[in-house]
Amino acid sequence: MTTTTAPELRIFDYDTYAEGDPATFGLPLEQYRYLRDEEPCFQQEFDDPMLIDKAWVVSRNEDIWEVDRNTELYAADRGYVNIWQVVPIDPKNGGMPAMLTTDGERHRAQRQVLAKGFTPGFVRKLEGKFRQYAKDVVDDALDKGTFNFVHTIAHNMPMEALGDVLGVPPEDRVKFFGWVDKFAAPFDTRITASFDEVMEAIGNLMVYSEELAELKRREPGDDVMTRLVASGEGGEPLMSPEEIMGNVALLASGAAESTRTAMSHGMHELMRNEKAMAWMREHQDNLPPTVIQEMVRIASPFTHLVRTATRDHELHGKQIKEGDIVAMLFAAGNFDERAFDRPEEFQPDRIENPHVSFGRGPHKCLGQHVAALEMKILFEELFQRTSSIEPAGPISYVRDAYSRGVYELPVTVTPR
């Protein structure tokens, strides 16, 4: 038997992540290993009115690929997105429909509307603008000398970059992403004092998204919001008003916080790992994509997402019934030795990297190329303009079992 026994499993407990061990990327890697080895289809029960009742948890890399890709057996459109009861994009539970909660033809149609704003080619055109933001952010950091990396760098860079991609006017960005931060961390009272604040933030975002849609109909731009409100050849809108609201909420929540999280865990790991830091210095003029994907892997910004079984079937000896919820524990799949060479090591030049942080199926992250470019440019700028980047205090994590935010990462930089 392995070191962890079943009763100690606390994989969906927010304190597990709030009190995570910085030496294992803040993740309960031993618990994940136990699940993968001993309970690859694990029945998790919850006893909290804010959460769903129970879920089958898959944790092996290969099984996550399968659940994510087999949308016919594991549907995304039958309610719930993660273990929370309330998610603004869950139309089965009071939210609005969005890509991530739609399957089949309607999913494809929504994706088609937006995909052109996210292809690798389109994203490459944003490089110049992203460089400017990275420069401004690093200027600010150098002025400060010692600062909270999460806020000074990892918050501000995605906010501006995504503001551009989405088409949120500069003067609205702070409030727009502020609402998102509230509903992205509903259980951390340092960020969101009460659940009423969560509901208020969702409400504000929905109202704002209608205003923004109106603005884009009047004054179209080369941005995602304009695509969302566009009409097809027959003059019919491509998305319903509900889909517009849902997808704004999805884009807002999927984009900024996750990228910030990936950057922060990545920065933290570099400061504890001399070899990786030296490798970054060697490659700082043109960072290879491998290091960015490796940061996204160890960060696992969303620990999991859920699907619903569409019929009775068996998985690893367990009887899954139609309507049962199946959770893909991405964070565990990212450390599966069946899929990775020495998964517990951060390897900036890792070539075989089948990580599941962006998903792997038809819902695979639409913003993956944007996120990767933002991270590449930000780290290039930061490294090129500093001679050293050192920790100035311990890391602390957001209290949440879904989004793996870093709360504080004190850093001191020395200019070149």
Task: Read off φ and ψ for residue 45, nearest 5 degrees.
Answer: -110, 150
The label of the residue with tokens 């994706």 reads: 111
Report in angstroms how near the CB of residue 115 gets to ligand HEM at its nearest. Answer: 9
Task: Measure the N-to-C terminal CA separation of the chain; round to a whole number of Å.
Answer: 52
Q: Please spell the DSSP secondary structure of 342-354, one letter per residue.
A: STTS--TT-----
Residues 263-292 binding other proteins (CB under 8 A) are 289
Tokens, residue 163: 């503001």
Residue 135 partner contact from ligand HEM, other proteins, none using kind-dependent CB cut-offs of 5 to 8 Å: none
Report in angstroms how near the CB of residue 122 gets to ligand HEM at its nearest. Answer: 12
Choose which of 84, 358, 402, 407 interacts with ligand HEM (CB under 6 A): 358
Choose which of 54, 78, 106, 108 interacts with other proteins (CB under 8 A): 108
Query: Would you give the binding string for ligand HEM spanning residues 153-192, x where CB under 6 A is met?
Result: ---------x--x---------------------------
Provide the edge-to-edge strand list for the sheet that holds 54-58.
Answer: 41-45, 54-58, 325-328, 305-309, 74-75
H/E segment holding residue 58: strand 54-58
Q: Is 141 in the site for ligand HEM (CB under 6 A)?
A: no
Report in angstroms how near the CB of residue 312 gets to other proteins at its nearest. Answer: 25
Tokens, residue 30: 């031993």
Report in angstroms how near the CB of residue 77 gets to ligand HEM at its nearest. Answer: 10
Q: Is 121 in the site for other proteins (CB under 8 A)?
A: yes
The label of the residue with tokens 């061990």 reads: 21
Q: Which is nearer to other proteins, 23 or 351 (CB)?
A: 351
For the beta carbon of residue 325, count every other beta carbon within 10 angstroms. 21
Q: Which is nearer to ligand HEM, 34 or 88 (CB)?
A: 88
Are the C-beta atoms of residues 401 and 332 closer than 8 Å to each other? no
Choose which of 87, 371, 373, 389 interacts with ligand HEM (CB under 6 A): 371
Residues 211-250 binding ligand HEM (CB under 6 A) are 250
Q: Please spell the DSSP secondary structure of 239-299, one letter per residue.
A: S-HHHHHHHHHHHHHHHHHHHHHHHHHHHHHHHH-HHHHHHHHHHTTS--HHHHHHHHHHH
Are the C-beta atoms of residues 228 and 249 closer than 8 Å to each other? no
Q: Which is nearer to other proteins, 66 or 197 (CB)?
A: 66
Q: Is 118 in the site for other proteins (CB under 8 A)?
A: yes
Task: Read off φ and ψ for residue 197, nearest 5 degrees.
Answer: -65, -35
Span near other proteins by CB under 8 A; candidates 78-86, 114-122, 177-185, 340-348: 114-122
Q: Which is nearer to other proteins, 119 or 189 (CB)?
A: 119
Residues within the interface to other proteins (CB under 8 A):
69, 108, 111-112, 115-116, 118-122, 289, 359-364, 369
Interface residues with ligand HEM (CB under 6 A) are 68, 99-100, 111, 162, 165, 250-251, 254-255, 258-259, 262, 296, 301-302, 305, 357-359, 361, 363-367, 370-371
